[in-house]
Amino acid sequence: MIQNLEFKMPDGLIIKGQLEGNIDSDNLVVMLHSGGYDRHERGAKEITKDENGNRKIIYYNSEGNYDYLTNLLKHDYCILRIDQRNHGKSGKNINIDKITEKLNAFNVQKEDIQKVIIAEHARDKQTLNELINKYPTIKDTVNKPPLQNLSFVQMKDDLNEVMNQLLKTSKDFKTIDYVGTCMGTVVLGLYLPEHPEKANSLTLFSPLYTFDYSFINPPKAAELNYHKKQTVQNGQQFRLGNAIEGPSTYEEINQISKTFIHNIANLDIPIFCIQGTNDALVSRDEQNKLFQSLENYRKENNLNDIYYAEIEGVHCLYDSIFPSVLEVSTFIESNKKYTKQIK
């Protein structure tokens, strides 16, 4: 059973998602995808063009990685998956000031500018096409609108709003297990220390927690990260799919990195991290050192266990889907009856 959902954010943007699995279960699993993908977490292995010049995508797996994981959990758990802002079917994260300026230059009426903004926030293609027919010159602006820089804090606030709206309209879940991949792991790392209630466990696929290596001071050997940093330092946006990083993203990372690892270290629930051995974004050695220090800290402070596993391949999900999702489903099931000890 799949129940499609919509959540309206305070800025008007619509987050779309779905509840599935055992809707009547008292146990909820929340899954947050990585940057550039959607609620299915389906990775593109190769993007080419066919003989007619049409875009052709070859995927790593026939289904999304989160679809596989959901299939393993669906009999015992209710599962929430959402498309984060500017991803999947959720609304576009437009820069309102810039799109207003562009539309004003095309003499678009004030009320129609507002319609464009609302339609972009809802990814309402029908309304946008009607406005393009009325103002043909705005086609490029509407189809490729100016977008805000990615903000992990904003996406954390989105998740908070989604959870508040969900829990008001559905049953009161006894436990909530969280799963994140890459970008989604940062959102969860910000959200959970602020909302530890009912948090039962945390699974991290390729966590983006090595901020110094990935954002702040990437070495030249980390070619993608280094190129991103150079692009952003030049005042430009770097686009990786629908994940759009800019100067404000890096300013935010500088701020949150000061307390982020400390907050994760003190999150007193079981944590499981799976990392690809040849990850191009996060160095295996850097990740290993980070999680070793977290493990030592938690042992010293009598906190719940943190587990770290390495799976062969560039990306632990896309290259090694079945060992990864099997290990994670086992981990989540093993914590089903977990309750915090009151210290």
Q: How far apart are CA 250 and CA 256, in angstroms?
A: 10
Q: Are 253 and 301 contained in the same domain?
A: yes
Q: Are 275 and 164 contained in the same domain?
A: yes
* Residue 237, domain member (yes or no): yes
* Residue 340, domain member (yes or no): no
Q: Are 263 and 208 contained in the same domain?
A: yes
Q: How many other C-beta atoms can be found within 10 angstroms of the C-beta atom of residue 197?
A: 6
- Residues in the chain, total: 343
- Is residue 295 within 8 A of residue 288, CB to CB? The reply is no
Q: Are 262 and 309 contained in the same domain?
A: yes
* Residue 29, domain member (yes or no): yes
Q: How many other C-beta atoms can be found within 10 angstroms of the C-beta atom of residue 76?
A: 15
Q: Are 319 and 201 contained in the same domain?
A: yes
Residue 15: φ, ψ to 5°? -95, 125
Q: Which structural domain range is residue 245 located in?
A: 2-89+150-334
Q: Is residue 252 helix, strand or coil? A: helix
Q: Are 50 and 190 contained in the same domain?
A: yes
Q: Are 238 and 102 contained in the same domain?
A: no
Nearest to 66 by CA among 184, 240, 200: 184
Q: Are 226 and 247 contained in the same domain?
A: yes
- Is residue 71 within 8 A of residue 79, CB to CB? The reply is no
| Chain centroid to CA 138 | 30
Full-model pTM: 0.94
Q: Are 134 and 283 contained in the same domain?
A: no
Helix (H) or strand (E) holding 65: helix 65-73
Q: Are 265 and 317 contained in the same domain?
A: yes
Q: How far apart are CA 180 and CA 16, in angstroms?
A: 17
- Is residue 236 within 8 A of residue 250, CB to CB? The reply is no
CATH number for the domain that contains residue 9: 3.40.50.1820
Sequential pLDDT tens for the chain (343 residues): 899 999 999 999 999 999 999 999 999 999 999 998 999 998 887 888 888 888 888 888 888 899 999 999 999 999 999 999 999 999 999 999 999 999 999 999 999 999 999 999 999 999 999 999 999 999 999 999 999 999 999 999 999 999 999 999 887 899 999 999 999 999 999 999 999 988 999 999 999 999 999 999 999 988 989 999 999 999 999 998 899 999 999 999 999 999 999 999 999 999 999 988 888 788 888 999 999 999 999 999 999 999 999 888 766 667 778 888 999 999 999 987 654 433 3
Q: How far apart are CA 172 and CA 92, in angstroms?
A: 31
